[in-house]
Structure 1
Amino acid sequence: MAWDVFSFIGTAAFAISGAIVAMEEEYDIFGVYILGMITAFGGGAIRNVLIGVPIDVLWSQEFLFLVASILITIIFFFSKYILSHWNRWGSYFDAIGLAAFSIQGAMLAIQLEMSLFAVIVAAVLTGAGGGVIRDLLAGRRPLIFKEEIYAVWAAIAGLIVGLEFFNYDFTLYILLILTAGMRILSLVFHWKLPRGKIQVLKKVGLE
């Protein structure tokens, strides 16, 4: 049950996120659908390829494709009512999608009896992969490469699931809330990761 819930939440949240970014970049309707779908399913597709899940598993998710299509359509045709609120609520959708998909990715890796490291990688790829593809296609710097804390929350969620601290559905829902909440708090309070700096000495030529 938890698997289906996380799949639905993650797909819905990232389909909305991708469609809104496409609208902000003034894509046509085809571009909005493409970016919305890639954001919703891109992370899972990359994860499946890397951990050896058959690619046809992606195309068997007819219900989720329908959900994503409906939500993208709503975003496109009602954007003038939605975009005014996106700056406030858009990051919340992204945080929810990150949390849901990171937990789902970790669950899949555990089902395949993979190592703890693979569980964490699956969580990060599933949680942040779609957003990375979205930002690259939209010509934006991916959140995962910025100072703000983003994919770290996916890795922590994957670690917790991998260590089997949360073995029941209701505890996984708690983890979903905690992961999304920490991502939102990192935005509100501007938590950042330490950044390394290298001073480059420039050679000054003598004329």
Structure 2
Amino acid sequence: MTWEVLSIIGTIAFAVSGAIVAMEEEYDILGVYILGIVTAFGGGAIRNLLIGVPISALWEQGMLFQIALLSITAVFLFPNNLLKHWRRWGNFFDAIGLSAFAIQGALYATEMNHPISAVIVAAVLTGSGGGIVRDVLAGRKPLVLRDEIYAVWAILAGACVGLGMASSTLELLVLFVITTVLRILSYTFKWRLPNRSLRSNQ
């Protein structure tokens, strides 16, 4: 039940973020729905293809699809009311979604006896793949890879699951809390990874 609740929160957060980006880019209603759905489920779909989970498993998440569609509809109908709350709580819910989905993806890969490299890839794709696809479809540089420490926390979660450091329910919940807190700290204090620019050398 706990993981179902976290998955619901993550689905809502990702669907809403996709819808908001689509509206910022002035997409029509179809574009808003497509971008919202892709953000919520795109990472999981890519993960399933790469680790060998039947793609049909995606269509078994009927309740989550309905929740995503309702969330997108609410954003489209009441953008101004929801945007005020999203600016305050959006990053928090997004952190929950990142942690829950990353751990979920890692567990999928470990259950299929994949090596740790595949477990980490599954965690990253499930946790941040939807955001990458969203930004690409919106014509933006993926913030996940450029602006903030984001995918690193999915890598951390995947490594912990893949190495067997988190396997029991309690250990997974502790890992979820740690990953969420690290993500919150990284955007609160604007942590950045080192980067090198070639423009100054030209």
Q: TM-score, normalised by structure 1?
A: 0.89
Q: Secondary structure at the match of 1:148?
A: coil
The aligned residue for residue 86 of structure 2 is 86
C-alpha displacement at 1:199, in angstroms? Answer: 7.1
Deviation string 1:128-175 (CA, Å, 9 cap, x unpaired) is: 100001111112211222142110000001011112222222332222
**Distance in 1 between residues matched to 2:13 and 2:201, nearest whole Å:** 45
C-alpha displacement at 1:57, in angstroms? Answer: 1.1
The aligned residue for residue 14 of structure 1 is 14
User: What aligned pairs does 1:25-104 form with structure 2 within 5 A after superposition?
Assistant: 25-104=25-104
Q: Is the CA contact (8 Å cut-off) linking 2:119 and 2:159 kept in structure 1?
A: yes
Q: Secondary structure at the match of 1:63?
A: helix
Aligned length, in residue pairs: 202
User: What aligned pairs does 1:161-200 form with structure 2 within 5 A after superposition?
Assistant: 161-198=161-198
Q: Secondary structure at the match of 1:89?
A: helix
The aligned residue for residue 116 of structure 1 is 116
Q: Is the CA contact (8 Å cut-off) linking 2:9 and 2:93 kept in structure 1?
A: no
Deviation string 1:98-134 (CA, Å, 9 cap, x unpaired) is: 1111010001001101111111110001111000011
Question: More deviation in 167-176 or 69-78?
Answer: 167-176
Q: Return 5+ residue gaps in structure 2 as ranges.
A: none
C-alpha displacement at 1:2, in angstroms? Answer: 5.4
Q: Secondary structure at the match of 2:54?
A: coil
Question: More deviation in 69-78 or 4-13?
Answer: 4-13
Change (3 A) 1:201 1:195: closer
- Share of identical aligned residues, percent? 58
Q: Which has the larger radius of gyration?
A: 1
Q: Is the CA contact (8 Å cut-off) linking 1:49 and 1:55 kept in structure 2?
A: yes
Q: Is the CA contact (8 Å cut-off) linking 1:95 and 1:180 kept in structure 2?
A: yes
Change (3 A) 1:20 1:200: closer
Are 2:4 and 1:4 aligned?
yes
Residue type at the aligned position of 2:62: E
Q: Is the CA contact (8 Å cut-off) linking 1:17 and 1:93 kept in structure 2?
A: no
C-alpha displacement at 1:187, in angstroms? Answer: 1.0
**Distance in 2 between residues matched to 1:171 and 1:78, nearest whole Å:** 39
Q: TM-score, normalised by structure 2?
A: 0.91
Q: Is the CA contact (8 Å cut-off) linking 2:12 and 2:67 kept in structure 1?
A: yes
Residue type at the aligned position of 1:172: L
Residue type at the aligned position of 1:29: I
Q: Secondary structure at the match of 1:160?
A: helix
Change (3 A) 1:164 1:200: same
**Distance in 1 between residues matched to 2:170 and 2:73, nearest whole Å:** 32
Q: Is the CA contact (8 Å cut-off) linking 1:147 and 1:195 kept in structure 2?
A: no
Pairwise CA RMSD: 1.9
User: What aligned pairs does 1:151-162 form with structure 2 within 5 A after superposition?
Assistant: 151-162=151-162
**Distance in 2 between residues matched to 1:201 and 1:133, nearest whole Å:** 31
